């Protein structure tokens, strides 16, 4: 598994930086975002250093599928029942701030939304 020594997500995956972990297996680590945009805001991060969504290849199909299937499972486990949002920012122009593939999964009641 390739890792970049200066990548914050590689350091989190390696256990060098603490996180509020929700899930971990041999391929992925999932943790709460430190600056959440919703009551439940997770980051699903591959342990292997993949720069962005644009860098996925056919060889990553199982990994990408695993990320997509894991998102609703974790939201259900965390009590999110009214829906959630998944976002993958890709590249600088796409709003990606950390150059390591990651999926934001955000859910829970939005206090600013009209009833």
Active site residues: 102
In 3D, which of 25, 48, 64 has the Cα closest to residue 100?
Answer: 48
Cβ neighbour number for residue 111 with a 10 Å cutoff: 6
Q: CA-CA distances (angstroms) from residue 107 to 33, 35, 99, 111?
A: 12, 14, 24, 12
Q: Which stretch of DSSP H or E encloses residue 44?
A: strand 40-46
């Amino acid at each position: 598994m390739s890792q970049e020594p200066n990548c914050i997500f590689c350091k989190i995956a390696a256990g060098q930086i603490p996180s509020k972990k929700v899930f971990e297996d041999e391929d992925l680590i999932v943790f709460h975002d430190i600056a959440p945009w919703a009551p439940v805001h997770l980051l699903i991060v591959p342990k292997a250093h993949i720069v962005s969504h644009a860098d996925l290849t056919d060889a990553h199909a199982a990994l990408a599928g695993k990320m997509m299937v894991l998102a609703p499972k974790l939201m259900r486990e965390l009590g999110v029942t009214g829906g959630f949002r998944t976002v993958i920012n890709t590249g600088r122009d796409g709003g990606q701030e950390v150059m390591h593939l990651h999926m934001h999964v955000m859910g829970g009641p939005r206090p600013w939304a009209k009833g």
